[in-house]
C-alpha cells in the first residue's frame, strides 16, 4: 500500500494566495494563467517560469504583475530582460533560477507544470518548504515514487493532483474511510489511435499522434496518450497518490472523456467525477482547494452527449500499459527506467528518428536489458534515470 494517507489542511486566511507557476508557457501553464487572469482578486503571482518561449513568458508576467519571471534557457536571459525593461518584474535565467523560484516562500501554491523529469528538482524545492503543490508533472511521481512521497510527508507539503483522473479520484476518495475503498478506476480516452490496427499504427506520423480527439495538450503527453503510456504513467501516479494497492487500480477506456475517474467502495457504491474535458476544471480545483472557484469550462450537458461508452484496454495494441504495470509491480527503479526511456523515445519519435511502435518496443528493451537498482534516495533516481537515457539513446542509434 502506498500513497499519502490524508492531505494536510491549509489554514484559510482569506488573503490572496501567492501562486508560482512552473512551466507557465505550456498547455497546463497557459490554462493556469487564464484562470489567474479571470480571478485576479484571489491570487497574487509570485513567479512564472518557462524554458524557451520568452515572449509569452514576459507577456504573462507583465499582465499578471508577477514579481519574477524565469527562463530556464540561460541564453535567453538578455532577451527576457529587454522584454521586461521598464516593468517591476524581475528577470532570472537558468535551471537553478527555476529551482530558486519554486523555493520562494511567496508562492503559497506552486503549480508544477514543467514537462518531464526536468520538473523534478523544482517540484522538490516547493515540496521541501511545505508548499501546496498543484501537481501536473506526473513524470516526477513516476520517476521518484516513494522518494517523492517521503519528501512530501517530511516537508509537510500538500500535493493536490491536477491530472484530470487523479483530481477526479481526489474529489471522491474518502480518505478517512480508505479501508472501505475496493477499487479505483482510471478512465482513458484511448487516444487518437484507439481504433487503429498495429499495421496502421506503424505508419503514424508525429502530427497524427499529437492530434488528440478530446484534449488539447503539449506534444509529449499527446504522444503518451497515443501510445497509452500516459495511462500507464497515471497508474503509477495513482499508486503513489492514494492509499490503494496495485491490483486495485483498474484502467477503463471511455472515449468520451466525460467520467474522469471513479472510486468503488465495499458496499457497492461507485463515486465518479464528471465534467467537460477542459483542464481548467482540475486546475481550478487545485488552486482553490479546499474551496472551489469558478472555471470557464463548457458546462456538461449529458443530454447533448447522449451516450457514454466503455471498453477494456487492449494491451496487445498498446503494450505501454502492460510495461507500466509490470514496472510498478517490479518496483524499485523500474518505473524510473520506464519514464526515462519513454521520454527519450517520445523525443526521438517527434524528431522523426524512430517509428511510432518503436517507442514501446525500445522502452521494453531498456527495461529488459539493464539491472534496476533500489530507489532509496534522490541520487538513486538521478543515476537510474541517466543510465536508462543512455541505454535508450544507444538502442535508438543502433536501430
Binding interface with ligand NDP (CB under 6 A): 23, 25-29, 50-53, 72, 98, 113-115, 118, 136-139, 163, 215, 217-221, 279
Cβ proximity to Mg ion, 163 vs 358, nearer residue: 163
Q: How far is the CB of 165 from Mg ion (least distance, A)?
A: 5
Cβ proximity to Mg ion, 136 vs 384, nearer residue: 136
Q: How far is the CB of 160 from ligand NDP (least distance, A)?
A: 13
Cβ proximity to ligand NDP, 68 vs 264, nearer residue: 68
Binding mask 128-167 for Mg ion (x = CB under 5 A): -----------------------------------xxx--
Size of the site for Mg ion (CB under 5 A): 3
Residue 116 backbone dihedrals phi, psi, to 5 degrees = 80, -175
Contact of residue 221 among ligand NDP, Mg ion, none (CB under 5-8 Å per partner type): ligand NDP
Q: How far is the CB of 324 from ligand NDP (least distance, A)?
A: 14
Taking only Cα atoms into account, the Rg of the chain, rounded to an integer number of angstroms, comes to: 20
CA max distance for the chain: 62
Looking up cell 516526477, which residue turns up?
Answer: 140
Closest CA to 276 of 215, 191, 228, 219: 215
Distance from C-alpha of 185 to C-alpha of 31, rounded to nearest angstrom: 26
Cβ proximity to Mg ion, 279 vs 363, nearer residue: 279
Distance of CA 241 to the CA centre of its chain: 12
The residues, ordered by sequence, that sit 6+ positions from 113 with a Cβ below 8 Å of its Cβ are 21, 22, 23, 24, 26, 28, 29, 32, 119, 136, 137, 162
Residue 214 in grid coordinates: 478530446
Contact of residue 175 among Mg ion, ligand NDP, none (CB under 5-8 Å per partner type): none
* Residue closest to ligand NDP, measured at CB: 26
Q: Kindly report the CA angle at 307 between 301 and 312, in degrees rounded to 5?
A: 125
Cβ proximity to ligand NDP, 53 vs 261, nearer residue: 53
Helix (H, G, I), strand (E, B) or coil at 270: strand
The residues, ordered by sequence, that sit 6+ positions from 27 with a Cβ below 8 Å of its Cβ are 216, 217, 218, 221, 279
Distance from C-alpha of 323 to C-alpha of 361, rounded to nearest angstrom: 10
Other Cβ atoms within 10 Å of 324 Cβ, number: 28
Residue 337 in grid coordinates: 527506467
Cβ proximity to Mg ion, 99 vs 135, nearer residue: 135
Closest CA to 256 of 310, 185, 186, 321: 310
* Residue closest to Mg ion, measured at CB: 163
Q: How far is the CB of 193 from ligand NDP (least distance, A)?
A: 18
Q: How far is the CB of 126 from ligand NDP (least distance, A)?
A: 14
Q: Is 237 in the site for Mg ion (CB under 5 A)?
A: no
Q: How far is the CB of 398 from ligand NDP (least distance, A)?
A: 26
Q: Is 343 in the site for Mg ion (CB under 5 A)?
A: no
Contact of residue 156 among Mg ion, ligand NDP, none (CB under 5-8 Å per partner type): none
Distance from C-alpha of 324 to C-alpha of 370, rounded to nearest angstrom: 16
Cβ proximity to ligand NDP, 93 vs 264, nearer residue: 93
Residue 272 backbone dihedrals phi, psi, to 5 degrees = -130, 160
Orientation angle between helical segments 138-155 and 334-350, nearest 10 degrees: 140
Site residues for Mg ion, window 257-286 (CB under 5 A)? Answer: none
Q: How far is the CB of 154 from ligand NDP (least distance, A)?
A: 23
Cβ proximity to ligand NDP, 136 vs 396, nearer residue: 136
Q: How far is the CB of 371 from Mg ion (least distance, A)?
A: 31
Distance from C-alpha of 268 to C-alpha of 185, rounded to nearest angstrom: 14
Q: How far is the CB of 140 from ligand NDP (least distance, A)?
A: 8
Distance of CA 152 to the CA centre of its chain: 16
Cβ proximity to ligand NDP, 131 vs 217, nearer residue: 217
Binding site for Mg ion (CB under 5 A): 163-165
Amino acid at each position: 500500500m502506498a500513497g499519502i494517507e490524508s492531505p494536510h489542511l491549509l489554514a484559510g486566511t482569506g488573503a490572496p494566495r501567492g501562486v508560482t507557476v512552473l512551466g507557465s508557457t505550456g498547455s497546463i501553464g497557459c490554462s493556469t494563467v487564464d484562470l489567474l487572469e479571470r480571478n485576479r482578486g484571489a491570487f497574487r503571482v509570485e513567479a512564472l517560469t518557462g524554458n524557451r518561449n520568452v515572449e509569452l513568458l514576459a507577456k504573462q508576467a507583465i499582465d499578471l504583475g508577477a514579481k519574477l519571471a524565469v527562463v530556464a534557457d540561460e541564453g535567453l536571459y538578455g532577451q527576457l530582460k529587454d522584454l521586461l525593461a521598464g516593468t517591476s518584474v524581475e528577470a532570472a535565467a537558468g535551471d537553478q533560477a527555476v529551482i530558486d523560484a519554486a523555493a520562494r516562500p511567496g508562492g503559497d501554491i506552486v503549480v508544477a507544470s514543467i514537462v518531464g523529469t526536468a520538473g523534478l528538482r523544482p517540484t522538490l524545492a516547493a515540496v521541501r518548504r511545505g508548499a501546496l503543490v498543484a501537481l501536473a508533472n506526473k513524470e516526477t511521481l513516476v520517476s521518484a515514487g516513494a522518494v517523492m512521497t517521503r519528501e512530501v510527508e517530511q516537508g509537510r507539503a500538500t500535493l493536490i493532483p491536477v491530472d484530470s483522473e487523479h483530481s477526479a479520484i481526489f474529489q471522491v476518495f474518502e480518505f478517512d474511510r480508505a479501508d472501505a475503498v475496493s477499487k479505483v478506476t482510471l478512465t482513458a480516452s484511448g487516444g487518437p489511435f484507439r481504433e487503429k490496427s498495429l499495421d496502421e499504427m506503424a505508419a503514424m506520423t508525429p502530427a497524427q499522434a499529437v492530434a488528440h480527439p478530446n484534449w488539447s495538450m503539449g506534444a509529449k503527453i499527446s504522444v503518451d496518450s497515443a501510445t497509452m503510456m500516459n495511462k500507464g504513467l497515471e497508474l503509477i501516479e495513482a499508486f503513489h497518490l492514494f492509499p490503494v494497492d496495485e491490483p486495485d487500480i483498474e484502467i477503463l477506456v471511455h472515449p468520451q472523456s466525460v467520467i474522469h475517474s471513479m472510486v468503488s467502495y465495499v458496499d457497492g457504491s461507485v463515486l465518479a467525477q464528471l465534467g467537460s474535458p477542459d483542464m481548467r476544471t482540475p486546475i481550478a480545483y487545485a488552486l482553490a482547494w479546499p474551496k472551489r472557484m469558478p472555471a470557464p469550462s463548457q458546462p456538461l450537458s449529458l443530454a447533448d452527449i447522449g451516450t457514454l461508452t466503455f471498453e477494456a484496454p487492449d494491451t496487445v495494441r498498446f503494450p505501454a500499459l502492460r510495461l507500466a504495470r509490470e514496472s510498478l509491480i517490479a518496483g524499485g527503479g523500474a518505473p524510473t527506467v520506464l519514464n526515462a526511456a519513454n521520454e527519450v523515445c517520445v523525443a526521438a519519435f517527434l524528431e522523426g528518428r524512430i517509428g511510432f511502435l518503436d517507442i514501446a518496443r525500445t522502452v521494453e528493451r531498456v527495461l529488459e536489458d539493464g539491472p534496476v537498482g533500489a530507489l532509496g534516495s534522490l541520487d538513486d533516481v538521478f543515476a537510474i534515470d541517466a543510465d536508462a537515457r543512455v541505454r535508450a539513446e544507444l538502442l535508438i542509434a543502433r536501430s
